[in-house]
Each structure stands twice: as structure tokens, then as C-alpha cells.
Amino acid sequence: MTVPREMPEKWPRVRAAGGAEEERRVRANAREYNEKFQYASNCIKTSKYNIVTFLPVNLFEQFQEVANTYFLFLLILQLIPQISSLSWFTTIVPLVLVLTITAVKDATDDYFRHKSDNQVNNRQSQVLIGGVLRQEQWMNVRVGDIIKLENNQFVAADLLLLSSSEPHGLCYIETAELDGETNMKVRQAIPVTSELGDTSKLARFDGEVICEPPNNKLDKFGGTLYWKENKYPLSNQNMLLRGCVLRNTEWCFGLVIFAGPDTKLMQNSGRTKFKRTSIDRLMNTLVLWIFGFLVCMGVILAIGNAIWEHEVGVCFQIYLPWDEGVHSAFFSGFLSFWSYIIILNTVVPISLYVSVEVIRLGHSYFINWDKKMYCAKRRTPAEARTTTLNEELGQVEYIFSDKTGTLTQNIMVFSKCSVNGHSYGDVQDVLGHKAELGERPEPVDFSFNPLADPRFQFWDPSLLEAVKLGDPHVHEFFRLLSLCHTVMSEEKDEGELYYKAQSPDEGALVAAARNFGFVFRSRTPKTITVHELGRAITYQLLAILDFNNIRKRMSVIVRSPEGRIRLYCKGADTILLERLHPLTQDLANVTTDHLNEYAGEGLRTLVLAYKDLEESYYEEWSERLHRAGSAPEAREDRLARLYDEVEHDMLLLGATAIEDKLQQGVPETIAILTLANIKIWVLTGDKQETAVNIGYSCKMLTDDMTEVFVVTGHTVLEVREELRKAREKMMDASRSVGNGFYQEKLSSSKLTSVLEAIAGEYALVINGHSLAHALEADMEVEFLETACACKAVICCRVTPLQKAQVVELVKKYKKAVTLAIGDGANDVSMIKTAHIGVGISGQEGIQAVLASDYSFSQFKFLQRLLLVHGRWSYLRMCKFLCYFFYKNFAFTMVHFWFGFFCGFSAQTVYDQYFITLYNIVYTSLPVLAMGVFDQDVPEQRSMEYPKLYEPGQLNLLFNKREFFICIAQGIYTSVLMFFIPYGVFADATRDDGTQLADYQSFAVTVATSLVIVVSVQIGLDTGFWTAINHFFIWGSLAAYFAILFAMHSDGLFQMFPNQFRFVGNAQNTLAQPTVWLTIALTTVVCIMPVVAFRFLKLDLKPELSDTVRVRYTQLVRKKQKTQHRCMRRAGRVGSRRSGYAFSHQEGFGELIMSGKNMRLSSLALSSFAARPSTGWIETLRKKKGSDGSTAGSPSGVADKMLKV
């Protein structure tokens, strides 16, 4: 290879001192040279284990969990004879069971990863080796190889496109695996290599590429090709990335630049941040508390043992000698401490963690199987992509939603336009007047155009008349739409055009130009062919100034057949209007009025402009553009400056307005979620007018609101002043409503809680530039306090980073669960930041879905996800945890009381087999059934009564208070469980007059009482009985008695005489009426206070769910008596053309807000508004607000604002 003059003779280091790659150098057809840099091979590995490493690595990972390490520590203690009064299998059996289940799950997951890796690595690819194409597996492809791809093949690695079967080195790819978009994209080889079409030329190709190191930026690539003493700039348009599929291209050749783990696809497959629920965090705290309680009990019993041995035990050394090695009462107490730690460890059984995961897995399957969340149109079911967050779905207080594609359908329709100051698109009646809402004449007839899209509809015939009459402005308007885009055209049959657009907006604009006679037919890298009113015209494409989120515009520079060079530009109004020539100011004013009118109707707008360029200026500008594109550094900035230079002093053509229809069920969903006290914030990149109108369409904003605050300040001072005025208005209104009460509240509470308790409904709308100031450290608290006091918040013109910052702000200062929902790549950061991320599988690809925790296809399913699945998951998990801690304290504390009567000798009450099987056989399945299937009210009632959702938001069902109540109940049960049989057995006799009391009979009686009491208790706790609940509860009881009699049978004794010594003990004990009377008395005394308390609570202070359940039961009984009467009215089904406010039928807003179309029948939530049963929720909510404010917002700021 000949080194060009610009290339350094002495290569700089490719890798930095720390081993990170600074730049990449790749020489074609030179494996030996490239191997010096030790680049990664093309073999990928997503699996974690192999046959040799699985067991040690998996066990090491599992013992990273504190719980597993804790139980391993207990197992080691049990292997020490001096301190263990239990056999080692009482701990090792559950521990091995848990480790085995987890290992099997991990092995299964890794097996499928291995299978996927092998499938990908063994794909075949044609590699050019020694001038001959050879079939090689993907994993054998190396950096610097030249490979051949054929149509519909996956790209094996990140390739520099060298040549293709298409003219000018073009090729077409589909990037669905990268960004989820199925639209075709075009890539092009640089001209100098596009002629290398045969293997002999490619075998002699020895160009060298110097480029950026491996990174995860899918849309950017910078590098330079050095070949034949010249250098050529490379960009992302020259690259084929791994994961793409070659389409509509017979073949192409590419040079491997990045392979295997260095490819951009693999660089983007990083691990998602692990999310934990608030219940998980609370449970970890409670487990630490329980461990502390366990240590305290061990210390008390150890002290008791030392005192007993010193005072009493020393007198019986002759026949009760101390164990070998024990020489003092103090050391005996020390050993007794560890013995009791082993015995009492069941207060935190390992089965707790397994049961929690099983329950969560069941809840996830319920979401996946829910047919009411299945979209038949897209054949997309709901999917729980994680199993760890289900109960948190029942605690959401803030929802952050994208607009386009989430609230709307992201199906764009060309609706209106403004051309040269004239607005087109209003629906007109036969007399030419603007039609009233609901009137719809026939659409415009496009039959004159054989290439028109039959699906396209437009309602204003005057625009077509202007085209036919030859209006030059209208012609130039549609000429711009047919030229300024990146759409790909495919013509399968003559006249049947199929457009592949990268965004729905572009597709709608090109389709509109097509129907009005300016048909985009085809493109090459240097030309665009358009049929203008039936005449084919080919324009020379000189440059494309592409769109990005910073420029917010795109331009093309074309040369017409007459030789005129013209720049066509389309973009956001805020960007383009300031780049117009001063002579167009009057036209710009009229067009701005039209833009405001369109935005007020919820339409998405773009401004169109053009500019003629002098030949000499273009040549000079083009040369500078080429140099900027070849620059090794700051290439993007140089190009941006050149783009900005040429896109000035343009002439205004007009504007377009595209309708993005509202999704079905969005207003109803938002209305019901609002009733559930969930605050919805919309974070959108659209302009303010469009977003506000969508807010009214969605019923987030209503005319009944006290005020809608709009923050548009451009400076820090302006934004702070606008936020301050908004707070003052809310406070003034509340003072006038609350009079003296509110003055008292002001003096005793923090500002945040006061604002959240204000009277009236407010909304806040804030622009992106204002939000940037509001999110600064010294103003974020003021912004949050103002926003949280509002019922609805809309943030316009926001960037993806700002979306994540808003979510992070709420997480930082509010003790509330957040949920983010979106459908596009710009929503990924927001989805990952929130406690719960929901992806909509829509028109913008699947990046949001891949980053999400839950996914479905329509926003309306969010209502069911939260109010049904989320609420039930939270309810079930809370009931499960309460019962689990209760039953284990009732089980374990009996040992504590027994210690005072056995000389603190660490003797167990129960048989060791009972201790082993209690949590994994006798009581595991009933509580699992309750945790998976239980429900307090039917799903219809969960949807009809959004207020039922509030206990989860306030964390009422499982918190520290509920935990201590469960513990107290468990301790109370253990006291009765021990002392009632103990008292009875002190003087009881058998039928034959002999003494009843003996250790084994006492153990059987207490164990039987325990199993029966906890079984009756779970029967009381179960709110929804299924056949599975019945089978598990009564089956567990039956299993207990079957195992009990088996362990005391003669058969087991003969097989294992050393293990099962007490033959017939169970049969003899349970044959005594006194024993059964004792069991019955214990059960009644343990259960009756619970039953009495619940009856009194239901009668005196019922919860909302109790009231709904009672009413529902009454309705069901009434319905059974009067079968002829229909208790439910079918909801009215209406059709509408658009989801926007001005397309709704009159009265629809009142219907939504009244709740009449939400199936709120006689059980309507409003009927409970005056009931005392809801007051406790509101009281706790206010209390939570005042408590949470101290942890969230700095009190100093709040106090200062209170004094203002």
C-alpha cells in the first residue's frame, strides 16, 4: 500500500496505557497485520456459564444473597454437636431445595443463551480469502476480511460498504434488530470503491481505514479511508451494521471494521438497571429487625441457661453432667446462645424468598395471559418483561407519558396546509362554506391521477383546483414535498408505488404530494425522479442536509433540468421562521396565524421554504463542505456551521399540518386514573399549542379547571417569577375558600403539603427552554412544589434528557412510585429512570419496549394494568407477607416459652421432621394459593371504583405498623399454643387413668393445634375461594395427618429404627378426647378475637373495599331474584374521525367527566364521597404529605416561602 502524504509515517499508539482503544486501524485483506492489534473475533457470547464453571460460579452468585449466606452459616452451626439440638437436614433440605430451584432456572436461561449464541455464530458467510470466496462460519470472520452479502441475508459484522449490485454502490437495508424500524434505509459505497464489483479487484484492494474506536452510537460513525495516496471521509451512510438485513439488493461487498463484541449492536446490549420494589426494601429492613429480635431472644435464653446451670444444674452433675469441653455455667450459656439461634431461625425461613418469587412469577403470567389486554389488530399481547415489580404497579402515584404514539396513534394524515398565505383543508359543504362539525361531504376526487394512492383522502377541493390552474406557489409547495425527504420508493407492479419512510410524518407528506400530481418515483445517490402532473422530470441531487434533533430541519439542494440550483427546506416553525428573508415578513405573519390555528386543533406543523443559489457560490460552498467532511476532528461541528450558513435568507412557501389521531380509550383511561389519585404528566417534544390541545382532547385539561398556568420564561428570573405567581394564586384561592382553617394549616405545615391540599383544580404547562431553567439545582424544588400542586402537568418541546430529569426530580423529592410510558427511542431514558417503565409497541420501533418492564400496544391497557393487575398484586403480596410472618412467629415462639420449662437446654418442642416440613409442606401451598389467586373485589369493581387503588399509594396494607400487628398476633397465638396444652397436660389422664403428659404427646398436640390454627387463619384471610385454595388448604391438613401417622408407624420404625423410635405415639395421643378438646379450645381462643375484631371493624369502620364487596354481594343476590332485569347498561359506542377536541361530538366531555360512560352504576364512587369510610384515606394522605415533605423538599425553602 502506498501511504499518502497526509498520513503519518510513524503510527501513533492504537491503545492507551490503560488498554482502552483510542482509534481503530484496519487494512483490507491483511489478517496478519490486523491480528497485531488483537481485535475481538466475530464470535459472540451472551451466556454466563459452561459445564465446568456452572456449579462454582452459580453457587458463588447465589451466596451473594445475604439470605443464602445466613442459612449457610446456620447449617455450619448445626454441624457442631455441642450447640446443635436439631439435625442438619432441617436446614440443608430447604436450602438445597432453594439453591436447586434457582440453579435450574439459571441453567435453563443460560441453555437458551447458549443455543442462541450457537445459532448466530454458526451462520454462514462468504469470505474473500486468497482471491476466492469461501463459506465461513460467522465466528471465524476477522477484522479486515472482505465478505459478500446476498439479498435477505443478515449482516455478519459492522462493515464498510465497498460495492453492490445496484448503480452507484447503493444498497438497501432493514434495521429492525437495531431500532425496531421496518422501513428500508439506503446506504452507499464511496465512489472510489463502488467500481470494485468482482473478486479479482477486491482481492487486490489494500486500503486502510482509520476510524473511531468501538462505541454504542448507532447513528454516528467517523473515519477515513486511505488508498492510492488519497484519503476519503467515511460516515454512517457508508456503514452496514451487524443485525441489519440486506433488502432489494442482489449482492454487496463489505470490509469488516468491528466484529463480535465490538459491533454497535453488541455495544448496545448493556444490562438494564436492576429495579427493586418498596416492599423489597421494607422487607430487607424487617429481616434485619427480626434478626436483631432473634439475637435478643438468644441472649435472654442464654442468660437463663447460665443462671439455671449455676443455680440448679450444678446440683445434678451426677446424672446430668455437662458436655465434654463445658467447664462453667457461663460457657454453657454461650453454647446455648448459638443453639437457640439455630432453633429460632425459622422466624425468617428461606422459603419466604422462594415463595415471593413464585407469586411474582404467577402475577406476571396473569398479565401475559390477559385477553382483555390483547390487541387483535396488531396481534400483540401484554407482556411482563420483569417479575420483580408487579406489586409496585399497585402503588403508582405519578405517570409520565409521551404524547406521539402513546396518547396518539402515530398514524399521520395530511390534514391542512398554508400556501402563500392561503389556508387549505377546511371541510366545506356543497355551497363552499365551512361545514359544521359532524357534516362530511364527499372527499376530493383524485381519479385524474393514475398514480394516486386510493387510501389518501382530502376534503378541500380548492387545493386541487389551484394545482390544475397552475398556481406557481402551489406547484412549488408540492415540488418541495416530493423532493425534500429521505423516502425510498418501490414499484412492484407498473403504477403501484410503495413508499418506505423513516417517519410517519415524512410518509404522509410525500403521499400528499403524490396525490396532488407531484409523484416521487425513484431516486439514485445523485438523482431524484418526479412525475409532475404526468411529466417525468429528473433532478440532480447535489446535497442532503439531513435532519437531527438539534437542527430540527432538513434540506436538499437540487439542480433542475434547466440548470437552476435551488435549496428546499422543511422544519420546525421556531427554527425556520427566524431564517427567512426579511422581505417575507408579511407572509410570515399570516402563515404564523395559520400555524397557531392548526396547532390549536392539535395538528403537527412544519414550515416550508426555499432559496435559489448562485452557481459560483454553490461550487465554493460545496468545496468547503467536502473539506469539512474529510476533517479528522470536529467534523460534525464544521458541517453544522456550513449547513447553517446556506440555510439563511430563505423564501417562505407555506406550512403543512398533519393530524396524529388520538388512540381509542385515552380520555376514559386518563379520567379513571385521575379518579384513582394518579397524577399524569405529559412530556412531549411537540409545540405548546399542539400539546395543550391534546391535553383538552384527553380530558387532562378541562374548562372546569380553576386555572391553567403557562410558563414560557426565557430567563431564570422570568421562570422563577412565573412559578411564584402560580403558587401565590393557588394559595390565595385556597385562603379565600378555607378562611381561618387554612391560616392555621399554613402555620403548622410545610409548603409542599399545603399546596397539595389546595382547593380547586389547576394545571401547569411549561416549555422546554423554561424547563431547562426550572430543573436547575436552585429552582427545582420550586418547580416541583408548583407542579405537584397541579392536577395535570404538560411539558412541551422537551428533549429525551429532560424527560429523564423530570422523572428523576420526582423520584428524588417525593415518596411516590413513578411510572413512565412511551413508544419511541426518545422515551428510553425516561422509561429506564422511572420506578416502572412501560413500552408501547407502536409505529416508532421497539426500542422503548426493549427497555421497558411491561409492554402492550395501546395506552388504554394501562388502566387495567394498574387498577386490576397492579392492585391485586399489591393486595396479594401484602396479605401473603402478613400471614407468612404471623405463622412463623406463632410456630417459632413456642420454643422460646418452652425454654423456661426445660432448663433453657435448647430442647425443641416439635419433632425435627415437623420443623423441616412445616414451611415447605404443611403451610407453603395454602399461602401460595392466596398470594397468587386472592382478590378482594371482582375485576369489574376494581375498574369502576378507582378509589380502591389509594391504599396501595399510601402503603396501608403492609408497612411497619402492619408488620408489628402480625408479629403481635403470632406471639399471642404462640403463648396460647404453648400454655393451654401445658396447663391441660399438667393434670390430665388417659382413658385408662394413666398420666397423659409426656414429651412426645405434648409435641403432637401442640403441632396439631398449630397446623389447624394457621389453616383456619388462612381460611379467614382468603377473600376469593377457588378450587385450588380448597385443595391446598384441606390437602395440606390431610398431608399433615398422613405424614404424622406414617412417621409413627411400625413400617418406618422397622426400616429406620434409629430415626423413628416413637411407634404409635400419634395414634395413641390423638385417640384421647382430652387432646382433641385441647386442640379445639386452643383453636377457638386463638381465632375468636380475630373474628370478633374483623366483624366489629366491618360494622363500625369499614374500608371502601368492604363496602364495595357488600354492595356487590347484595346486587348479585338481587339479580338472582330478578333475572328479567338487566343490572348493567351497555356503554354507548360512538365513532369519531379524529381523537382531537374539535372532532368530538358535543357533550362528550361532560359525559366523560360525569362518569356515565364508565360503567359506574348504582355502585358509583360518588356514593361513597360522604361516607366516613373514605375519610381515613384522606387523613392519611394529608399526613403522608406532611411527613414526606420533610424527607423530600428542603424545609428551609418551604419555611421562607411560608413567610412570604
Which residues are marked as active site? 402
CA distance 403 to 797: 11
d(CA 649, CA 653): 13
Position 683, amino acid: L
Q: Angle between the 472-483 and 504-515 helix axes, to the nearest 10 degrees?
A: 140
Q: Which DSSP helix (H) or strand (E) runs through 847?
A: helix 847-851
CB 1080 within 8 A of CB 1010: no
Nearest residue to 1086 via CA among 1020, 1179, 1002: 1020
Tell me which residue of 381, 479, 498, 405 sits closest to 864, measured CA to CA: 381
Residue pair 785/757 in contact (Cβ under 8 Å)? The answer is no
The two most distant CA atoms of the chain are separated, in Å, by 124
Give the Cα separation of 1054 and 1068 in Å (integer).
19
E-strand ranges in 435-532 read 488-493, 496-500, 518-523, 527-532
- Give the integer Cα–Cα distance in Å for 974 and 968: 10
Whether the CB-CB separation of 514 and 616 falls below 8 Å is answered with no
Q: Name residue, grid cell 410570515.
A: 588
Give burial (CB, 10 Å; 0-12/13-18/19+) of 11: exposed
The span from the CA of 414 to the CA of 443, in Å, is: 13
DSSP H or E run through 172: strand 170-174
DSSP structure class, residue 420? T
Q: Please, are residues 1001 and 985 in contact by the beta-carbon 8 Å criterion?
A: yes
d(CA 363, CA 830): 25
Instruction: Tell me how far CA of residue 1070 lies from CA of 1007, 1008, 1009, in angstroms.
Output: 12, 9, 11
Q: Is 639 helix (H, G, I), strand (E, B) or coil?
A: helix
Amino acid letter, residue 366: F
Chain Cα centroid distance, residue 443: 42
* d(C-alpha 850, C-alpha 984), whole Å: 64
CA distance 647 to 553: 10
1146 to 9, 648, 661, 700, 981: CA distances (angstroms): 77, 46, 18, 18, 74
Dihedral sign, CA of 847, 852, 855, 858?
Answer: negative
Helix 924-933 vs helix 871-899: crossing angle, to nearest 10: 160
Q: Which residue has the cell 485483506?
A: 29
Name the strand (E) or helix (H) holding 223. strand 223-227
**Which 8-state DSSP code applies to residue 319?**
T
β-sheet bridge partners, residue 795: 683, 766
Instruction: Please count the helices (runs of H) and the strands (runs of E) in the chain.
Output: 43, 33
Asked whether the beta carbons of 87 and 102 are under 8 A apart, the reply is: no
- Enumerate residues 6+ apart whose C-beta is below 8 A from 1159: 940, 943, 944, 1128, 1129, 1131
Residue 997: Cβ within 10 Å count: 16
Q: What is the CA radius of gyration of the chain?
A: 37
Strands (E), 614-706: 651-662, 679-683
CA distance 802 to 947: 32
Asked if 345 and 74 touch (Cβ cutoff 8 Å), the reply is yes
